[in-house]
Structure 1
């Protein structure tokens, strides 16, 4: 198991089983806290073969180099990061995606995950990923015709992708919650259960240039649905949309860049994938960029207050 020291104690994590153990009776001094965020997401590329209106990913062409990514991962691993999640764009479109996953799993202690639309998850590709990923996340925005209108792809093709990944790796299902999908959460939950997913991640829709945010009415319906949920699959919710929902946070003092950071496909570090404020990751490394970004965000807070 990998260990991490933070304000809430000593955290042990097993990337193969997903087991978390927190020794919260310990109170480590801040001087020994792990310097890396607990979790880091990395957009390997902005390329995507879908054109979803609710997508917040940048649309300009950009991709990260494999050696660059692996250098960052080794630094994060050394300083207490527990897991990295590859995204995009569509990460499976990156030409070195499989090799990046293999090296990440073999040369670090990080849990390796990725988020995908699922349509490129052929049995051949998934077989090549076996042993190199610890969890996969499949985006499922509604079912049948709702999904097809949201994603512009056949729902039957998605089901084939889910079937392929289920044979080789633990996986979860993500759903963007908006006025179209809110009425189909029961159906998505049932699909997750039948397919063998271990998690259903709710992503309240964030505003983009093309669409508005989830909205108050949908937000109330989501709160009611979560409050009455009795499904078998574990629920999770994105931090950006968790406000007002009944959530449980075992690490209440591990906030901001202690908890999470995002690297976009241009190599810029952000506090989240929705934040416009960022720092270039230069030769000094990712920890240096994190410290610079932390100071920038603290300055912003002082100015606003």
Structure 2
């Protein structure tokens, strides 16, 4: 189907964002300096999450991605994934650092995950210095995730990792990844966004990329970089939104503005967030 040949009226569009990411918990056993997740402890309740997923499913959402923090550290992670896959039509994905993907966890998750992502910010010593974990342990995580579902590799692109994109691309191909997602580093309380030198190096690398693994670039920080948007007319909160571990709906995980999801549900918070952004 060629989606650009279909032009339904905007009033017929789904009210839900097409994709929602949900931080199940802020807890993580890594301490990456460029991490956007808040450092205050917070986790979402299972029934709360499932209620939101069913509402989003009914309103036209296509997929949800669980993250954090480290989502596998949520005490009910497996049950949430199983129920999301079994009780909704949503595509269920999650992003992990990969160091907790034991064979037992992978076996419990099988059949509930449609796609998974593993974060690979550099190779060898660069990875170990940025993430504080052994690179050999990451390689075991990649092997485990390949036994779970189709998967992609994420890389935060900064002054350390931009020079290692060739090596990460080779790792993605050898490990059996179906996608390599580039995430230009965004400003947090601890780090700045990538500068023009790194940005230009990234643009040059993307323009010369000839690898076999599908390349993708996050919309955040994708200035002058190609992105693939299956619904090109649906932008902003119609395309994507993020729910943090405190139950606040945001335009993205980096957005300071948000709307608390109350008893009225996700779509009510979405409407409040949209109205607030229009006023500005």
Output the TM-score relative to the length of structure 1.
0.90
Q: Structure 1 stretches (4+) deviating beyond 4 angstroms?
A: none
Cα drift, residue 22 of structure 1? 4.5
The residue that corresponds to 1:102 in the other structure is 82
Q: Identify which of 167, 175, 181 aligns with 1:187.
A: 167
Match of 1:223 among 187, 203, 209: 203
Looking at structure 2, the residues matched to 101 and 291 of structure 1 have their Cα atoms a distance apart, in angstroms, of 27
How far 1:23 moved relative to its partner? 3.8
How far, CA to CA, are the matches of 1:80 and 1:31 in structure 2? 13
Unpaired runs of 5+ in structure 1? 1-20, 301-305
Distance (whole Å) between structure 1 residues aligned to residue 202 and residue 92 of structure 2: 30
Q: TM-score, normalised by structure 2?
A: 0.98
| CA-CA distance at 1:209 after TM superposition | 1.4
Q: Does 1:257 align with 2:254?
A: no
What are the within-5 Å matches in structure 2 for residues 237-276 of structure 1?
237-276=217-256
Corresponding residue of 1:289: 269
Query: How far is 1:250 from its partner?
Result: 3.8
Corresponding residue to 2:91 among 108, 111, 122: 111
Shift of 1:282: 0.6
Post-superposition shift, 1:167? 1.3
Tell me the secondary structure at the aligned position of residue 66 of structure 2. Answer: strand
Q: Aligned-pair distance for 1:26?
A: 3.0
Which of residues 126, 132, 145 in structure 2 aligns to 1:146? 126
Distance 1:66 1:98 in 2: 11
Q: What value does the CA root-mean-square deviation take over the aligned residues?
A: 0.9
Q: Give ranges in structure 2 of 5+ residues lacking alignment.
A: none
**2:55 corresponding residue in structure 1:** 75
Contact 1:39 1:83 in 2 (8 A): yes
Displacement of 1:163 in angstroms is 0.3
Instruction: Tell me if structure 1 keeps the 8 A contact 2:180–2:213.
Output: yes
In 1, the alpha carbon distance for the partners of 2:203 and 2:3 equals 31
Q: CA deviation at 1:249?
A: 3.3
CA distance, structure 1, for counterparts of residue 182 and residue 242 of structure 2: 19
Following superposition, the deviation at residue 56 of structure 1 comes to: 0.8
Query: Given that residues 113 and 148 in structure 2 are in contact (C-alpha distance below 8 angstroms), is that contact kept between their aligned partners in structure 1?
Result: no
Q: Aligned with 1:244: secondary structure?
A: coil
Q: For residues 164-188 of structure 1, what are the alpha-carbon distances to aligned partners after superposition, in whole Å with 9 as ceiling and x for unaligned?
A: 1101211000000001001100000
Matched ranges for 1:53-68 at <5 A? 53-68=33-48
Q: Kindly report which structure 2 residues correspond to 1:171-182, keeping only aligned pairs within 5 A, or say none.
A: 171-182=151-162
Partner of 1:234: 214
